Each structure stands twice: as structure tokens, then as C-alpha cells.
Amino acid sequence: MRVSAKADYAVRAAAELAAAQAEEAPVKGERLAEAQDIPLQFLEHILLELKHHGIVRARRGAKGGYWLARPADEVTIAEIVRAVEGPIAHVQSTPPEDIEYRGNSEHLQAVWIAVRASLRTVLEQVTLADLVSGELPSVVGELTSSKDAWVAR
């Protein structure tokens, strides 16, 4: 139940690309790495994965770089996380809907399904456009408004 460095990096780099979308010119990997303080060579691997998933595009050579394949308001955080981390909320590496629980843990499946659904309500709602503008969907506002949400446990 943790967010990997890779996923964090991927979203941050994508946020930079979203912000640069107006410029109409590719952004170099180096600039992304500097802007978000990410090891360049590691970032290049991540960007490649995002490219393979159709989230970003790239061109080589002088004047080359990366850009978003789609408008920033059509790319969700969930997509990016899935691209680099794989499916969200799998249990023992299998999707919760495929697991069969017996005995007294019969209803655990519903709990894991609910866990996944709750993650989706956040990650699939927030787009890169939301992220860079700071105008996050109301669901985020509701979840973060309580003081309690900001303290560890």
C-alpha cells in the first residue's frame, strides 16, 4: 500500500509536460529532470514507459523532447500510475475480483474491491490539468479538508 518513487516521478514529470503544453514545443528530458529533481537516466526509462503506454510522445535530435500525447485534462493520475506500477490494488498479484475466500474471510473480497474503488475515485478523477492548476476535484477537497487527513497514524 505504498506509492513508489517511480510513480511519484512519473506524475511529476507529466505535470511539467502538462504545464508546458501551451508552448507547442517538446520539452527535453534534462529540463524535466532538473525541474523536478529526478535522476535523468532513471527518468528517461520512466518516460519511455509512458510513451509505450501512449501517454507521452517524443522526438529525438536537436529541438527534440517529450510532450503529452493528449490534452492535459484528458490524462488522469490513475493512467500514469498504472503505466509504471501496473494494476492498482492487486492482492497477492491477482485482481481482487478473481480471488476466492473461504470460511470466515468470505467477505474480504468485497473489502479489497472497496479499497480499489476508493483509490479509483481519487486517482481517476484527478487529471494533469487539475494538478497543475491546483483546482482539484471536489472529492480531493472533501478528503483533505479534515485536519485528521494530514496527520500520520
Partner DNA sequence: GCACTCCTGACCAAGAAGGTCAGGAAAGTC
Partner DNA sequence: GACTTTCCTGACCTTCTTGGTCAGGAGTGC
- Rule CB under 8 A: which residues touch a copy of itself? 1-5, 7-8, 11-12, 15-16, 18-19, 35-37, 77-78, 81-82, 85, 87-93, 95, 97, 101-108, 110-123, 126, 131-132, 134, 136, 139-140, 143-144, 146, 149-153
Question: Distance between CA atoms of 88 and 81, rounded to whole angstroms?
Answer: 8
Coil, strand or helix at 131? helix
Residue ranges in 29-48 that form contacts with DNA under rule CB under 7 A:
29-30, 39-42, 44-45, 47-48
Q: Are 48 and 56 in contact (CB under 8 A)?
A: no
User: Within 10 A of 114 (CB to CB), how many other CB atoms are there?
Assistant: 12
Query: Choosing among DNA, a copy of itself, none, which partner's interface includes residue 69 (Cβ < 5 to 8 Å by kind)?
Result: none
Question: Distance between CA atoms of 15 and 99, rounded to whole angstroms?
Answer: 35
All three cell numbers of 47, joined, read: 518516460
Contact characters 79-108, DNA, x per CB under 7 A: ------x------xx---------------
Query: Choosing among DNA, a copy of itself, none, which partner's interface includes residue 12 (Cβ < 5 to 8 Å by kind)?
Result: a copy of itself
Least distance in angstroms from the C-beta of 35 to a copy of itself = 5
Q: Which residue, among 25, 23, 28, has the nearest Cα to 44 in the 3D structure? A: 28
Region binding DNA by CB under 7 A among candidate stretches 16-24, 56-64, 100-108, 111-119: 56-64
Contacts (Cβ under 8 Å, ≥6 apart) of 125: 76, 137, 139, 140
Question: Distance between CA atoms of 108 and 114, rounded to whole angstroms?
Answer: 10
Query: Choosing among DNA, a copy of itself, none, which partner's interface includes residue 60 (Cβ < 5 to 8 Å by kind)?
Result: DNA
